[in-house]
Structures are given as C-alpha cells and as structure tokens.
C-alpha cells in the first residue's frame, strides 16, 4: 500500500481504497491495507461509505 494512503489516515482523513485485486507495481496480490483504511472492490460500493448531505 502506498505510503500516501497511510499518511492520509494518520492525518485524520478517511481513506477508501479501491482494491482491484492486483498490486499493479509488482503484479502480485493486493497488499493488506492498514486497519484505518476502508477497502472496497467496486466503485458502486463507494456511495454507501460517503457522508450524506442535503445539497
């Protein structure tokens, strides 16, 4: 997992990782995300994890 994802989580941001099932840098399996980073496999899962607004 790239360090910027973990750095964002440490800064108090909510990380959501779109895991495609392969780590494109090495071609191997995806790395295990930090427990503070939410992992989703499809973009269609994203709206369920975003805050609702009345805009």
pTM exceeding the 0.95 threshold for the entire prediction: no
Residue 50 falls inside a structural domain: no
Name the 3-class secondary structure at 7: helix
Residue 38 falls inside a structural domain: yes
Structure tokens at 1: 């997992």
Residue 29 falls inside a structural domain: yes
Q: Which of 10, 19, 11 has the alpha carbon at shortest distance from 38?
A: 19
Name the 3-class secondary structure at 54: coil
Looking at the chain, list the stretches that DSSP marks H as alpha helix, in order from N- to C-terminal side.
Answer: 3-10
Domain with 8, as residue range(s), is 3-44
Q: Tell me how far apart the terminal alpha carbons of the chain are, to the nearest angstrom.
A: 34
Q: What is the pLDDT of residues 1-55, one digit of tens each?
A: 566 767 777 788 877 888 877 777 777 777 776 677 788 888 999 998 888 777 6
Residue 10 falls inside a structural domain: yes
The structural domain count of the chain equals 1
């Amino acid at each position: 997992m790239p360090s910027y994802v973990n750095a964002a989580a440490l800064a108090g941001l909510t990380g959501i990782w779109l895991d495609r099932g392969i780590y494109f840098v090495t071609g191997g399996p995806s790395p295990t995300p930090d427990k503070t980073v939410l992992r989703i496999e499809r973009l269609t899962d994203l709206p369920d994890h975003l805050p609702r607004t009345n805009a």
